[in-house]
């Protein structure tokens, strides 16, 4: 804290004369630079850890070390998170979305470095997850920290979070456009002139830094040589539809398995269960070790032979049906490997597993068509297009999928197939599931910020802070005289009627009492129960803001009681909600 104040005192004179727009431009450059450095550190740490551990493993050695490495890495991760971090750092992108909607875009400072260490331990030792979500959390946390340091408002900090996320994606993939589109589609930031320029600055800065820190090839790059064939359009459409259904399987199964692991209360039992499942899967299918980009590269450059040749199924490499079964297992079991990693306590995302699964789907799709219809299809094109299709389906981010694959292939020769397959996959998935895997759980709780400004402001609003608890409570057995005393000591015109257990029985309005309150002869003959009315409805503390507003609309009331498990808490007024809404709208809107 003292260091923060010291640096702020030094920097304040230098920045206090800079207007807000120019300051944001400078800070977006800083955030992009730091996010790219974080991405480079993480990718190199994962790469060298992986290389050191697996350099001596060969097919002849029996792959037995694959049984030990993953559970060891997750054990170290659990220890690090449990005893050093002491906070949940999994599901990075969902945590960023939650911070934007419910924490005023404030992410904890430790997220700027803890995900790097935890993800290195998880993936470097073989965890079957991706590094993208943790590095997005890291970049977003850098943006949040920088914005908080300069005491910027909510909207500016949110924009810097977007800059951090864009910089992270651009730095990992050396794909600046994909970084920007990812932020707009996944984090759902508004696309305005004031937001697009900082995102551009951050993304291009990160991509440039990536050239210097990770060289020409970032993750993987592949240049398309075959020309686009219009006759293959129907197959790209069919691949998109297939990818859409597999995306549904991937999303639903991920959520189902992670909920299953969450039911295991003992962290070490959960670790052993997930670790054993993952170790067995990696032993049978070494392609599940780590992120899986090596497998995608092999499929692009050399086909399936080296992929199956590195497993215990190498003796079946000449049997088409066994190879097809092997590839199908990669498609449908990758989600189990990923969920076991995260469920057991590992730290990683689904970005890389989605690309791995999509590439495998594309290769298997092209192989089956070539076999049954005798169609000569370019396998590498379908691998890349399949990656885009599954990303569009699982993440509900077709534009990110299109531009990411286009950029990592070094051109836009694949643009038409990418658009066709991504669109078909997205439409197919969206027909059955409204929200992406990142958004669905937040959406169910009413905690998801959207591009709809009205809904976004409502999501930001914590209506529970507007509950009025200063109303004088009365009992139904109180006399009119007791009620008049309560009225004389209160500045409110509503009086909740509760019993001895604080359960609401009704409400008395001052308007209903005026006709008798000055008649002293009635003070001992009329009771509160004779004057009280039943509210048209009530609101439970667990309800989201949309339900609160809908209740006000249906009842036409201006004040409604709030209950918590049946017990009286206070009253909420429509006018207070509207006032808070207007204040938030001003903050959220363009300045």
Residues 9/156/184/186 CA torsion (nearest 10 deg): 70
Contact indicator for 89, 137 with CB cutoff of 8 Å: yes
CA distance 250 to 440: 14
Choose among 161, 113, 149: nearest CA to 3.
149
What does the radius of gyration of the chain's CA atoms come to, in whole angstroms? 29
Please give the pLDDT value at position 115. Answer: 93
- Is the dihedral angle over the CA atoms 426, 432, 434, 435 positive or is it negative? negative
- In angstroms, rounded to a whole number, what is the distance separating the alpha carbons of residues 151 and 145? 10
Three-state DSSP at 431 gives coil
**Rounded Cα distance, 532 and 548, in Å:** 23
pLDDT along the chain (591 residues), means of 10: 53 60 91 94 89 69 73 93 89 85 86 93 92 93 93 88 94 91 83 82 93 68 68 92 96 93 91 92 90 89 83 80 92 95 92 94 92 80 93 93 87 84 96 84 60 56 82 88 86 87 89 81 85 89 83 87 90 83 62 43
Q: What is the pLDDT of residue 591?
A: 43
**Burial of 348 by CB count in 10 Å (0-12 exposed, 13-18 middle, 19+ buried)?**
buried
Q: What is the pLDDT of residue 94?
A: 85
Q: Indicate the helix (H) or strand (E) that contains 375.
A: none
Which ranges of 55-113 would DSSP assign to H, the alpha helix?
65-80, 92-102
E strands, 122-206, are: none
In 10 A of CB 132, how many CB atoms?
27
- Structural domains for the chain: 2-214 (1.10.3080.10), 230-451 (1.10.3080.10), 457-588 (3.10.580.10)
Which pLDDT value is given to residue 584? 67
Positive or negative, the CA dihedral 236, 414, 338, 160 is: negative
Sign of CA dihedral 518, 519, 520, 524: negative
Q: What pLDDT was estimated at residue 547?
A: 83
Confidence at residue 377, expressed as pLDDT on a 0 to 100 scale: 75
Residue whose tokens read 């398309």: 224
The whole-angstrom separation of Cα 282 and Cα 128 is: 9
* Residue 283: predicted pLDDT: 87
What is the phi/psi pair of residue 304, to 5°?
A: -85, -20
Report which of 402, 406, 300 is spatially closest to residue 356, judged by C-alpha positions: 300
Number of helical H runs and strand E runs in the chain: 25, 5
Integer Cα distance of 31 and 161 in angstroms: 9
CA 183 to chain centre: 11
Provide the pLDDT for residue 98: 84
């Amino acid at each position: 804290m003292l260091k923060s104040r010291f640096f702020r005192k030094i920097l304040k004179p230098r920045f206090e004369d800079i207007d807000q727009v120019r300051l944001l431009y400078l800070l977006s450059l800083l955030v992009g630079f730091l996010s790219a450095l974080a991405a480079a550190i993480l990718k190199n740490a994962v790469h060298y850890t992986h290389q050191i551990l697996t350099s001596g493993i060969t097919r002849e050695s029996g792959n037995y070390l694959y049984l030990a490495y993953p559970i060891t890495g997750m054990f170290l991760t659990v220890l690090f998170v449990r005893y050093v971090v002491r906070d949940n750092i999994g599901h990075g992108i969902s945590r960023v979305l939650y911070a934007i909607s419910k924490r005023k875009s404030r992410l904890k400072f430790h997220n700027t470095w803890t995900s790097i260490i935890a993800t290195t331990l998880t993936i470097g030792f073989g965890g079957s997850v991706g590094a993208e979500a943790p590095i997005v959390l890291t970049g977003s946390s850098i943006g949040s920290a920088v914005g908080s340091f300069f005491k910027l408002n909510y909207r500016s900090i949110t924009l810097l979070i977007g800059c951090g996320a864009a910089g992270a994606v651009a730095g990992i993939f050396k794909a600046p456009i994909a970084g920007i589109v990812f932020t707009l589609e996944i984090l759902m930031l508004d696309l305005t002139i004031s937001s697009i320029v900082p995102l551009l600055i951050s993304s291009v800065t990160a991509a440039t830094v990536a050239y210097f820190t990770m060289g020409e090839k970032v993750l993987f790059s592949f240049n398309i040589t075959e020309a686009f064939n219009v006759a293959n359009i129907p197959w790209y459409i069919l691949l998109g539809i297939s990818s859409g259904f597999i995306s549904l399987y991937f999303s639903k199964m991920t959520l189902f398995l992670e909920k299953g692991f969450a039911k295991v209360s003992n962290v070490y039992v959960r670790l052993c269960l997930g670790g054993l499942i993952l170790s067995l899967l990696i032993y049978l299918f070494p392609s599940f070790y780590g992120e899986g980009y090596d497998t995608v590269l092999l499929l692009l450059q050399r086909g399936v032979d080296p992929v199956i040749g590195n497993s215990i199924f190498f003796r079946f490499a000449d049997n088409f049906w066994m190879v097809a079964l092997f590839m199908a297992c990669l498609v449908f079991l990758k989600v189990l490997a990923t969920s076991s990693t995260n469920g057991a306590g590992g730290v990683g995302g689904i970005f890389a597993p989605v690309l791995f699964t999509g590439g495998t789907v594309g290769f298997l799709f092209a192989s089956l068509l070539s076999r049954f219809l005798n169609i000569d299809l370019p396998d590498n094109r379908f691998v890349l297009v399949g990656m885009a299709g599954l990303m569009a389906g699982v993440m509900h981010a077709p534009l990110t999928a299109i531009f990411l694959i286009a950029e990592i292939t070094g051109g836009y020769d694949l643009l038409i197939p990418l658009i066709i397959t991504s669109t078909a996959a997205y439409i197919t998935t969206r027909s059955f599931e409204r929200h992406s895997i990142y958004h669905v759980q937040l959406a169910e709780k009413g905690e998801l910020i959207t591009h709809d400004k009205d809904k976004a402001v409502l999501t930001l609003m914590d209506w529970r802070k507007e509950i009025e608890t200063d109303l004088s409570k009365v009992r139904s057995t109180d006399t009119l005289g007791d009620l008049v005393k309560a009225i004389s000591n209160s500045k409110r015109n509503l009086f909740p009627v509760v019993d001895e257990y604080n359960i609401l029985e009704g409400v008395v309005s001052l308007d209903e009492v005026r006709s008798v309150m000055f008649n002293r002869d009635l003070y001992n003959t009329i009771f509160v129960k004779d004057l009280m009315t039943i509210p048209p409805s009530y609101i439970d503390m667990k309800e989201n803001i949309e339900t609160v507003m809908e209740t006000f609309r249906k009842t036409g009331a201006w004040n409604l009681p709030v209950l918590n498990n049946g017990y009286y808490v206070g009253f909420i007024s429509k006018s207070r909600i509207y006032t808070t809404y207007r204040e938030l709208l001003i903050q959220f809107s363009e300045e």
